[in-house]
Structure 1
Amino acid sequence: MIENNHEGIFKLMLELVSVPSISATPGEIKMARMIYGKLEELPYFKNHPDYLKLLPINNDPLERQVVFALVKAGPSVKKTIILTGHYDVVAVEGYGALKEYAFDPVEYTRRLSKEKLPEDAAKDLESGNYIFGRGVSDMKCGLAIEMALLAEAAQNPCKLSANLAFLAVPDEENNSTGMRGAVSHLMELEKELGLDYIAAINCEPSGPGAPDDDHRYIFTGTVGKIMPFFYFVGKETHVGDYFNGLNATLMASYLNIALEARSDFIDFKGSEVFSPPTCLKLKDLRDAYSVTLPERAVAYYNLLTVSKSPAQILESMKRAAAEAFSMAVDHLRKTAASYSKKSGQDIGISWQTKVITYGELEEKVCRNFPGNMSEHVKHYIASLPESLDERDKAISLVGELLKYYPDKAPMIIVGFLPPYYPHRGNLGRTEEEKNVMKAVDKVIEEARQSYGIEMKVVEYFAGITDLSYFGFQGKAEELKALSDNMPGWREIYDIPLNELAKLDIPVLNLGPSGKDDHKYTERLELSYSLNITPRLLKFAVESLAKS
C-alpha cells in the first residue's frame, strides 16, 4: 500500500528507480505497468476500475503507454487538478564501472564513498542528506510524491472539493512522445468523464540557483524550445577548380558565426533571460571521402523561447541565412580578388543569395512532381533505416525532394526539426490562471510560516518540460509555420495542433530538490524532498481545490 509520508514515499521512489526506464527502451513499458500495478492495488481503483487507465500512444513503434488515474471528489464535481510527470530517465553510460548500481540508489550511494567526486557532490555525500542514482531526482521522487498524494486522496475522495488526476508519461527526455500522445487523451477524457481541468502540477526537481542560494523555487510556466535547421546547397567541383564551385560548408560556417550565441536571438521576459542559440549539429552530407567540394551540408540549432512564435522565428532565421550566404559570397570575392592578383587570371564570383523555406521547397516540388508526391514521401520515409532518428530522417527527406526541385542554383533551405516545445507562462488572463497565482502566494506563505523556508516564484522553468503541451498560448494559425516547414510532418513527427490550440490549462512546477540531473552525480536532497515538498504539494492542491 502507498503511504503519503517520508518512509512511504522513499520506499516507493526506490521501487520506481529500480526499473531502468531509459528513454526509447522496453524499460519504459515495464515502468508504466509497475505504476499502473501500484495504483491498481488501492481499494479505490478496485472499486472504480474505469478511473485507472493504460492509454496507448498512437503510432508509437515501441507501443509505450500513458498512465492515467482519477480520484473523483463526487459524481457532479467537474473541477480537476492534474498531477503529472515523466517516468523515463536518461542513459547511464557516464556511471562507468558503477553502472550496474545506477538503479540501486542505496548501494550506489554507499559505493560512491570510495570514489573521488567533485567537491560539491562529495560534500553532499558526506552530509548524509543526499541519495545518489539515476532517476532519484529526475524524476522518480516527484512521481512517488504525486502517487502518494493520489493514494491519500483516494482514501477519502470527498475531502477534496476537486477531482485529482494523475498522468505519467514516457519519453520526456527524448522527444516527449508520451505527452504529445496524451494531449488527445486529455481532451477525450475531459468530455467522457465530465471534467474541467483547472491546473496541471508537475514535480520536476529544482536545485539552488547559485551555490549560496538558500531559496526554494516554484515555477508558474515553462520555457519553449524550437529547432530551426539550415540545409545548404552548394556547387560541386574538383578542388583544383575551386572557384567554379561553392563549398556548402563555407555557408554553414558563416551561418554559425551569424547565429551561435548571438544576443540578437536571445528571448527574454522581464528579468528572466534565457540561453542564446547554439548549434547542436553541423556536418556535410556525404558518406565517403572525395576531392570535390562538399555540395550539401546541414546545421540545426537549439532556441529557447518565452515570447516568440514559430512564424516569427522562421522569419528571423531566414534573415540569418541570407546574412550567412552574403558573408560567404563576400569571403569568396575577397579570396578571388587576391587569387586573381597573384595568378593573373580574372576570377569572378557570381553566386546570388537565395534562401527558401522548406514549405516553399515542398510546394514547388509538389507542382512539378511526376506522380503522387504524398505517397512517394510516405514510401521514402518508410524505407529509411530504423537507426536514423527523427532529425536525420527529416534531413534525408529534404535531400530527396531536392532531386525534383528544378532550380539547381546554390541556396539555403530553412525549416524546423523535432522536437517542438511551446513556451507556457501564467499571463493572468483567465480566472484559472489568477487562481493558480493566488494558490502560489498561499504556498509561499505556508512555506515561510510552517517551515521557515523562503520560496521564490520563477515564471519559466528553464529545463524544458512536458508542461509545454498543456496548451498553446497564441493563435492557432501561428502553429502553421511549424507544421508547414517541418519535413515529414505527421509521418516522422506530429503534435495534435488542433487539440493543443484548444487546451488552456494553467501550470505549476513544485518539485523536490535535486542536483546534477543527467550526470553520474545525480542526487536527491532527502529532508526537503521527502518531508516538505509533499506537504507543500498537498497544500497547493487543497488551495486550488477551494478556488
Structure 2
Amino acid sequence: MLNSREAVLNLTKQLVSIRSVVNTEGESVIAHSLYTMISSYPYFQTNPGQVVIEKTLDDEKERYNVLAYVKGTKGKSNRTAIIMGHMDTVGVDDFNQLEEYAFMPDEWMNLLEEQELPDAVRNQLTPGEWLFGRGALDMKSGIASNLFLLQYFSEHPEQLNGNLVFIAECDEEDGSHGILSALTTLERWKNELQFEYVAAINADFVAPLYEGDPNRYVYKGTVGKLLPSFYIAGAETHVGSPFEGLDPNYIAAELVKQINYNPALCDVAHGEYTLPPVALKQMDLKTEYTVQTALGAYVYFNFFIHSWSPKEALHLLKEQADIAFNQAIESFEKNYQAYCQLTGEKYNGIPWQTRVLTFEEMDKLLRKAHGDKYVNGMEKFKEDLLHDESLDIRMYALRVVEEAWKWMENKTPTIILFYSSLYYPRIELSGESEKEARLNQAVDEAVNNIQAKYSKPIKVKNFFPFISDMSFLSLSDDEAGIQAVRENNPAWGKKHYVDYEKIRKMNIPVINIGPYGMDAHKKLERVEIDYSMEVVPNLTKLVIEKVLND
C-alpha cells in the first residue's frame, strides 16, 4: 500500500484553510490555488497543456473548474479513468462568532476541548485520529486523496495502462454548474485525444447509516433527486366569512401531512430503499397583512429515487395530491357542518371538488384555449422575469406558474404539480454493459484486497444515498423520463437548462470511494484520518489500475 496518510492529511488541512463557501468568491480562490499547485508538479511543468482552469458555462457567478490528465506509458490503450470531487463547501453561519475557526482545523480542535460536547464527539477529539473543520469531510479530504493520486501517477505514468483525468469542480452544493461545465471539456478531450472513458470515481464523503453502524461504504451508482413542487390556488374570503372560501394553507397542510415522511414514497431497487420525501418549504403567497385568506400557497419536497423515472414520480405524487385534496375537502365539510350545528346557521354545502393538474396539463389546456396569445404572453413574461435577480430557480418557476394560472378560466381551488429545480439523475450500475461489468468487478476485487489489511468492515452498496455530481456522468432514464422534466419545469429553457443528451452520450459508469466521517454540513463536521487518508487513496488506486488493464 502507498504511504499516503501524512501527505493527504497535510493537503486536507491546506484545502480546509481556504474559505470556499459555495456562491462566494472563495470558489474562485480555491480553484486558482489548485491550478497553481498542480501546475507546479514536474509532470505538468513539462506538459503544461495537460492542466486547465476553466470558467463555468451559463453561470451567473464567476467560478472555475480545474482539470488535469496524465497519459499512461504502460501500454497504448486509450482507456481513461476519471477521479473527481467538489471544491466548494456549505456556509459557516452555524459557527456564529467562531466562524474563522471553521477553516483552522488544529486551532478549532483545541477550542472544542473547552466546550461542552457529547461524549461520542469528545472521544473523537483526538489529533491524529480525527480532523474537524468545515469541508474536512465534505469533501476536501476527498479532493486531497485525488490530488495525491494525481501527483503519484504523474510521477509514475509507467503504471498506467491508459489515462487518468482529475476533476475538481465547483458549485456542487448548489446548482452543479461545475460538473455540467466540465462535461464540455471531457467531450473535447474525448474527441481530440481519443479518450475512452471507462469509469469515474467520485470522492464524496460516506457516513454511518444508523447509530452504531461500523461499516465504511463504497457505492456503485447513485440516488436520483427531484424537487416536486405544488402551487395551491385557494378561494379567497374575508375572515369574517371563513366558510365562504377555501384557505390554500389548509390544503397545503394536508399535502405536507400526506407526503412528508411517507414510507409509501420510498423507492426500492436491489433491496435498497430511498429516504422518504421531506418538505423543504411551505409558505403562503401573501406579501402583506390583510384580513383576507391567501389566494395561493407553495410547497416543495426533497424526493429521492432509485428506480422511478421523473415521469413515474409525477404520477405517484399526483395520486398523493389527490388524496390530500380529498382529505382537505372532507375535513373542511365536516368542520363547516359542525359549526352550523353549533350556531344554528344554515348549511349551504360546498362548491369545490378535488382538482390536481401537472404543469404540463395546465399548459396544454391554456395553449388550446388561448393559442399564440398565451404562448407569446408567457414567453415575454419569462424573459422579463429573468431581470429579477432576487429569484432563484425555485421561485422563478413559481412565478411562472402563478402567471399561467391567471390565464385559467376555471379558477376553482386547484393544486398544480411541477418541478422547480435541477434534476439529479439516478444511476444504476446493472452490469449489463461491458464497462459497468468491468467496474463492478474492479470494485469487488479492490475491496476484497484492501479488506484483508483493514480491521473495519468495508461494505459495497448500490446507491450513493446523497445528492452529488455523480448524477451527471451517466443517464439511466429513457427519453420519456427526461421529457417529463422538461415539460413540467416552468423555468426550463429560460432560468434553467441541462443538456441531458450530452450526459447520455458520455455514459460513464460512476462509483463513490470517499472519506469517512460524521456531521457533514454541521458545526462538528469531522473526518476519520486512518480510513480517509490511508484506505481511500489505496482503494481508489486499485480500482483505477483494474479498470484500465485490458
Q: Which amino acid aligns with 2:166?
A: F
Deviation at 1:453, TM superposition (A): 4.5
**Which residue is equivalent to 2:98?**
98
Is the CA contact (8 Å cut-off) linking 2:142 and 2:205 kept in structure 1?
yes
**Which residue is equivalent to 1:292?**
292
Is 2:463 the partner of 1:460? yes
- 1:406 equivalent among 387, 395, 409: 409
Rounded Cα–Cα distance in structure 2 between residues aligned with 1:193 and 1:95: 46
Is the CA contact (8 Å cut-off) linking 2:367 and 2:375 kept in structure 1?
no
**Which residue is equivalent to 2:477?**
474
**Which residue is equivalent to 1:448?**
451
* Aligned pairs for 1:256-275 within 5 A: 256-275=256-275
Is the CA contact (8 Å cut-off) linking 1:183 and 1:496 kept in structure 2?
no
Is 2:393 the partner of 1:390? yes
Rounded Cα–Cα distance in structure 2 between residues aligned with 1:208 and 1:245: 49
* Aligned pairs for 1:182-331 within 5 A: 182-331=182-331
| Secondary structure of the corresponding residue to residue 408 of structure 1 | coil
* Aligned pairs for 1:337-356 within 5 A: 337-341=337-341, 342-356=343-357
Rounded Cα–Cα distance in structure 2 between residues aligned with 1:291 and 1:134: 46
Is the CA contact (8 Å cut-off) linking 1:4 and 1:148 kept in structure 2?
no
* Aligned pairs for 1:44-123 within 5 A: 44-74=43-73, 76-123=76-123
Deviation at 1:123, TM superposition (A): 0.6
Distance change in 2, residues 1:452/1:326 (3 Å): closer
Bigger shift: 294-303 or 53-62? Answer: 53-62
Is the CA contact (8 Å cut-off) linking 1:475 and 1:501 kept in structure 2?
no
CA offset digits 1:398-421 (Å, max 9, x no partner)? 112222233322211001121321
Is 2:144 the partner of 1:144? yes
Q: Which amino acid aligns with 1:236?
A: E
Rounded Cα–Cα distance in structure 1 between residues aligned with 2:455 and 2:319: 51
Is 2:536 the partner of 1:510? no
Deviation at 1:521, TM superposition (A): 0.8
Distance change in 2, residues 1:264/1:451 (3 Å): closer
Rounded Cα–Cα distance in structure 2 between residues aligned with 1:185 and 1:365: 41
CA offset digits 1:248-286 (Å, max 9, x no partner)? 111111111221112211111233222111111111001
CA offset digits 1:506-538 (Å, max 9, x no partner)? 111112222111111111212222222222221
Q: Which runs of 5+ in 1 are unaligned?
A: none
TM-score w.r.t. the length of structure 2 is 0.94
Rounded Cα–Cα distance in structure 1 between residues aligned with 2:399 and 2:10: 47
Rounded Cα–Cα distance in structure 2 between residues aligned with 1:499 and 1:370: 32
Bigger shift: 429-438 or 42-51? Answer: 42-51
Is the CA contact (8 Å cut-off) linking 1:243 and 1:347 kept in structure 2?
no
| Secondary structure of the corresponding residue to residue 114 of structure 1 | coil
| Secondary structure of the corresponding residue to residue 181 of structure 1 | helix
Is the CA contact (8 Å cut-off) linking 1:184 and 1:496 kept in structure 2?
no
**Which residue is equivalent to 1:362?**
363
| Secondary structure of the corresponding residue to residue 166 of structure 2 | strand
Is the CA contact (8 Å cut-off) linking 2:309 and 2:481 kept in structure 1?
yes
Distance change in 2, residues 1:479/1:432 (3 Å): same
**Which residue is equivalent to 2:15?**
16
Is the CA contact (8 Å cut-off) linking 2:393 and 2:491 kept in structure 1?
no
CA offset digits 1:213-257 (Å, max 9, x no partner)? 433221112111111111001111212222321111111111112
Deviation at 1:11, TM superposition (A): 2.0
| Secondary structure of the corresponding residue to residue 421 of structure 2 | strand
Deviation at 1:366, TM superposition (A): 4.5
Deviation at 1:211, TM superposition (A): 4.6
| Secondary structure of the corresponding residue to residue 199 of structure 1 | strand
- 1:376 equivalent among 352, 357, 380: 380
Deviation at 1:36, TM superposition (A): 1.1
**Which residue is equivalent to 2:135?**
135
Rounded Cα–Cα distance in structure 1 between residues aligned with 2:335 and 2:11: 66
* Aligned-pair identity (%): 34
**Which residue is equivalent to 1:527?**
530
Q: Which amino acid aligns with 1:52?
A: V
**Which residue is equivalent to 1:28?**
27
Deviation at 1:444, TM superposition (A): 1.8
Deviation at 1:143, TM superposition (A): 0.4
TM-score w.r.t. the length of structure 1 is 0.95
Rounded Cα–Cα distance in structure 2 between residues aligned with 1:500 and 1:221: 15
**Which residue is equivalent to 2:39?**
40
Rounded Cα–Cα distance in structure 2 between residues aligned with 1:4 and 1:290: 68
Is 2:426 the partner of 1:423? yes
For the aligned residues, what is the CA RMSD? Answer: 2.0
Q: Which runs of 5+ in 2 are unaligned?
A: none
Bigger shift: 289-298 or 5-14? Answer: 5-14
Rounded Cα–Cα distance in structure 1 between residues aligned with 2:338 and 2:17: 65
Is the CA contact (8 Å cut-off) linking 1:198 and 1:505 kept in structure 2?
yes
**Which residue is equivalent to 2:159?**
159
Q: Which amino acid aligns with 2:453?
A: S
Deviation at 1:183, TM superposition (A): 2.8
Rounded Cα–Cα distance in structure 1 between residues aligned with 2:33 and 2:128: 29
Rounded Cα–Cα distance in structure 1 between residues aligned with 2:98 and 2:490: 41
Is the CA contact (8 Å cut-off) linking 2:386 and 2:495 kept in structure 1?
no
Deviation at 1:81, TM superposition (A): 0.3
| Secondary structure of the corresponding residue to residue 125 of structure 2 | helix
Is the CA contact (8 Å cut-off) linking 1:476 and 1:501 kept in structure 2?
no
Deviation at 1:340, TM superposition (A): 3.5
| Secondary structure of the corresponding residue to residue 282 of structure 2 | strand
| Secondary structure of the corresponding residue to residue 451 of structure 2 | helix
Bigger shift: 307-316 or 506-515? Answer: 506-515
Distance change in 2, residues 1:536/1:262 (3 Å): same
Bigger shift: 446-455 or 259-268? Answer: 446-455
Is 2:496 the partner of 1:489? no
| Secondary structure of the corresponding residue to residue 509 of structure 1 | strand
Deviation at 1:57, TM superposition (A): 1.9
Deviation at 1:201, TM superposition (A): 0.3
Q: Which amino acid aligns with 2:280?
A: L
